[in-house]
Structure 1
Amino acid sequence: MTSERITAAAAGTWNLGDLPVNRIGFGAMRLTGSAAFHHGEPSDRGRSAAVLRRAIELGVNHIDTAAFYFSSLRSANELINSALAPYPEGLVIATKVGPHREFSGEWGTAARPDQLRGQVEENLRQLGRDHLDIVYLRRMRQDSVAEHFGALAELRDAGLIRHLGVSGIESRHLAEARAIAPVVSVQNQYGLDFPDPDTDAVLRACGEEGIAFVPFFAIAGKGGAQGASGTADDEVAAVARAHGATPAQVRLAWTLRQGPHVLAIPGTGNPDHLTENVAAGALRLTDADTARLDARHTRGE
């Protein structure tokens, strides 16, 4: 498929609360370097800025980031600020709090509820904003999210946050959070290569309640933060050949096919990959393609 002239609008739109976004967005994690937010060589600053500006040119109006996305010399939030501020009208920036990461790069214990305000304020500082459009509470193995989510709800009431989401959750955590404050979005690991019955249930529940479901690692699959392996199994490759598409585009298109409330936030520091990812929003899988890939997802291969 020809990618150069396709914009993010081809995927359709969804409202995150009162914020309309195109269903193909951009994940900022890989902007900081080849090893994402792990140890490794930092990215080229000019190339990362160019990717961000090109994303906006291609109609991306939903960027997902976090203050803990950084490498030895690069911070995703500050790259976004320097490349895009003053921010274009309609751009929605979502961030996450909950994990604690030292400046050395080492991960610490989860933030306490009383530490979440500091994390929110750090995101505000880095992004140069006076409020955050969407803040996710990333669950860090807590059995209950009530106390942490309640602390974010207070910051929402104070005007620092516009909308709230939850991430890394099970079905019961969604119900727990919604009893405290409105939830506009759920962000869980999900994709063609990552079957999980409870996550499938969360995805369906979000659709029934009009809540966005935003999967991460939809392309990388089991590779997670380290990225995709670069190889494609026979079934994905066959569907890709039939459409003149790449395996990554097929994975994104299958993800979007799971419901109109499902958004995509593929991340890359490569401008060519960015163009391909955005173009995946125009790839229309047939019912036969979808059934074939659904069966593969269920098998977990």
Structure 2
Amino acid sequence: MSRIGYGAAQLSRLHDRHDEAVALLRRAVDLGVNHVDTAEFYGFSFANTVIRQVLRPEDDVLVVTKVGADPNPVGPVPLRIAQRPEQLRASVEDNLRSLGLDQLPVVNLRRLDTGPGLRPEGDQVVDLDDQLATMTALRDEGKIGAIGLSSVTLDGLRRALPAGIACVQNAYSLVSRDDEDTLRLCTAEGIAWVPFFPLGGGFPSLPRVVDEPAVHAVAESMEVTPSQVGLAWLLHHAPNILLIPGTGDPIHLEANMAVGEITFDAHTLATLDAVESRSNNVAIGVAS
């Protein structure tokens, strides 16, 4: 598995430039991407449609999707929470159709318990055990290959371990390391840690890696960009971290893929490790 994949959320920026979206994803595969992160609500299935058109069996690219939210084209937020077991099952079926697959290789259950983003309320507050029962049933039926978790707490991950967890996707970056203990557990258990918002930000109130003076100083000394420094730090921080940076720009794509060639000496790594971590555990609203 390549440590640098591609996050397909940004493909929606090319919604009106379909050929460019196809070319971008094809270029990502040509550059060595062999795992792609997607969701039915990325561009209201646009990302899944492009993936279906571009990826061929011989590309041997692992497609990782997620459930726990559905598209919401008419709402103030472009997705709505869908945490109930029957909604998880329906979302798996939606992803199977839009991706044109008989089985989804990995499906992340987006829990919404921690990190920035929406929080469930009312009948969308669902016990993790009930959700895992649905996910394991879908796995037993052959509709999904492996189960991942997203926006999950340390306690939630511990509870889920007996179900067999392939990966965890939480918001995590150099400037927001709330989940260090969860990362350590994943490392110990051989679970891939796949951070979203790997450069911080995502919402205006959240800290950003590219705003850090230390990051800029390192970037200037190494003749790379601050974004590349932030991504490379993640690769150096733990051996089980996989990246899924997203972009709609082919030049930016190539810069992201080049991050794997960046190495830090001990002094530089210590300088970056000393950057202050600020909380990203911020709810931005509630959607039902």
**TM-score, normalized by length of structure 1?**
0.82
Name the aligned partner's letter for residue 109 of structure 2: L
- Find out whether 1:213 has 2:193 as its counterpart: yes
Count of residues in correspondence between the two structures:
267
Q: Which residue of 2 aligns with 1:160?
A: 143
SS in 2 for 1:33: helix
| Alignment check: 8 A CA contact 1:190 1:217 kept | yes
Amino acid at match of 2:24: V
Segments of 5+ residues of structure 1 without an aligned counterpart are: 1-20, 35-41
Aligned letter for 2:213? D
> How far off is 1:30 after superposition?
0.6
| Aligned positions of 1:51-70 closer than 5 A | 51-70=24-43
Instruction: For residue 284 of structure 1, report the CA deviation from its aligned partner.
Output: 0.6
In structure 1, which of residues 78, 82, 90 is the aligned counterpart of residue 49 of structure 2?
78
CA deviations over 1:62-81 (Å, ceiling 9, x no partner): 1000001115xx71100111
Change (3 A) 1:283 1:209: same
Match of 1:287 among 266, 270, 276: 266
Q: For residues 12-49 of structure 1, what are the alpha-carbon distances to aligned partners after superposition, in whole Å with 9 as ceiling and x for unaligned?
A: xxxxxxxxx10000000011017xxxxxxx45211111
Distance change in 2, residues 1:212/1:297 (3 Å): farther
Q: Is 1:257 the counterpart of 2:236 in the alignment?
A: yes
Report the alpha carbon displacement of residue 108 of structure 1 after superposing the two structures with TM: 2.8
| Equivalence for 1:6 | none
Question: Residue in 1 aligned with 2:177?
Answer: 195
Q: Kindly state the Cα deviation for residue 300 of structure 1 after the two structures are TM-superposed.
A: 6.9
Calculate percent identity across the aligned residue pairs.
Answer: 40
| 1:90-141 Cα deviation digits (max 9, x unpaired) | 2100000011332435433433112211100111111111001100000034
CA pair 228-202 structure 1, distance change in 2 beyond 3 A: closer
Counterpart code for 1:271: P
**Residues 44, 227 of structure 1: alpha-carbon distance in 2 compared, 3 angstrom cutoff:** farther
Which of 264, 277, 284 matches 1:298? 277
Residue equivalent to 1:119: 91
CA offsets 1:193-219 (integer angstroms, 9 cap, x no match): 2231xx111101100111110001112
Tell me, in whole angstroms, the C-alpha distance in 1 between the residues paired with 2:205 and 2:155. 29
Paired AA for residue 67 in structure 1: E
2:165 corresponds in structure 1 to: 183
Give the whole-Å Cα distance in 2 for the aligned partners of 1:134 and 1:33: 24
Q: Is the 8 A contact 1:217 1:225 kept in 2?
A: no
Separation (CA, whole Å) in 1 of partners of 2:215 and 2:8: 26
Write the letter of the residue equivalent to 1:77: N
CA RMSD of aligned residues (A): 2.4
Q: Establish whether residue 27 from structure 1 lines up as the match of residue 10 from structure 2.
A: no
Question: Is the contact made by 2:68 and 2:81 (CA closer than 8 Å) also made in structure 1?
Answer: no
CA distance in 2, matches of 1:213, 1:99: 21
8 Å contact kept, 1:193–1:222: no
Amino acid at match of 1:256: L
Pair 1:174-2:153 in alignment: no
Pairwise mapping of residues 89-108 of structure 1 onto structure 2 (< 5 A)?
Answer: 89-104=59-74, 106-108=78-80
Indicate the SS of the match to 2:277.
helix
1:233 shift after superposition:
2.8
> Which residue is equivalent to 1:49?
22
CA contact (8 A) 1:94 1:135 kept: yes
- Say if 1:195 and 1:297, in contact at 8 Å, map to a contact too: no
SS of aligned partner of 2:60: coil
CA distance in 2 between partners of 1:240 and 1:258 (Å)? 17
Q: 1:67 to 1:226 in 2, by over 3 A?
A: farther
Deviation (angstroms), 1:295: 1.1
